[in-house]
Amino acid sequence: MQLEHWDEAADGPLSESAMRRKLEALGYSVTRYVYPPGTYFPDHTHAVDKIDGVLAGRFRMTLHGETVVLEAGDMLYVPAGAVHSAEVVGPEPVVSLDAVKR
């Protein structure tokens, strides 16, 4: 599982625009989503490489049989064709940047 935590020393303060710039510089197209509490995405795949970046809230993701809870500043690489699921954890909505490899 390829997980990256926001590094303020290298990337500056966490913000939506800063994370978007970082993802776009890596060659991704970025879309912002807000998922309300209770949102659940069962096992699924994508045809392209993705990165799920979290700006707020807690997002439980399972990938390759491993589970991690993403919080603000976390970015998880999801390879094309990888079976994964996701779920909003707790009472707060998840604000996410969904990055798709161009």
When pLDDT is averaged across residues 88-97 and rounded to a whole number, the result is 98
Instruction: Give me the pLDDT at residue 99, please.
Output: 98
Name the amino acid, one letter, at 42.
P
pTM across the whole model: 0.94
Percent of the chain with pLDDT over 90: 97
Residue 44 is predicted with a pLDDT of 96
Q: Is the Cα dihedral 8, 13, 14, 17 positive or negative?
A: negative
What domains are there in the chain, each with its CATH number? Answer: 2-101 (2.60.120.10)
Q: What angle do CA 12, 29, 45 make, to 5 degrees?
A: 110
